[in-house]
Amino acid sequence: MVALTSPATWRGDELIDVSGAPLATYSAPDSSLDVTGATPITVAHTAGAMRWEVSGTTTAGETWTVRTHGFGVRVLTARCGSRTYRLERAGYMTKKRTVTDLATGAIIAETSPRGLHNLAVTPTAAAFAAPLADIAFMSWALTLIDTPARQTLR
């Protein structure tokens, strides 16, 4: 299992590490999220009056989702295969989030918008227990809801 061990940033359609090496790439033509050391995830985004969701499926048949529950986007839930997470904004007036592994209760990462298109992803000490693919999928979904310019790009 590959894990996120240092800060990374979504720039354009790539999640890059501090050295500039790509860890994950989103391909719009085939709606595929390709993550280092993982099976590609076919991704779809749906939004409506009371619903926002990013879903994905791997070739192995695993289902992945990030979705709202209720009226707002302050707290999102994620399922990556059998693993579950909570993606919660730090407050009502910020788009910074913590990503919590619901199996352990540990915060595995923090995300924060950078400019209009980019999203910084900072792993915590507990991130070693979460697959890179999970963090890449969840943070890609967050670029669609927490970075102002991307909300209209997809």
pLDDT band at 48 (very low <50, low <70, confident <90, very high): confident
- Domain hosting 43: range is 8-148
C-alpha span between 52 and 78 (Å, rounded): 12
- What are the φ and ψ backbone dihedral angles of 69, each rounded to 5 degrees? -135, 110
Query: Residue 109 falls within a domain, yes or no?
Result: yes
pLDDT of 152 > 60? The answer is no
Query: Residue 93 falls within a domain, yes or no?
Result: yes
Tens-place pLDDT, residues 75-116: 999 999 999 999 999 988 888 999 999 999 999 999 999 988
Query: Residue 1 falls within a domain, yes or no?
Result: no
C-alpha distance across the termini of the chain, in Å? 30
Number of domains in the chain: 1
Query: Residue 153 falls within a domain, yes or no?
Result: no
Query: Residue 3 falls within a domain, yes or no?
Result: no
> pTM for the whole thing?
0.93
Query: Residue 54 falls within a domain, yes or no?
Result: yes
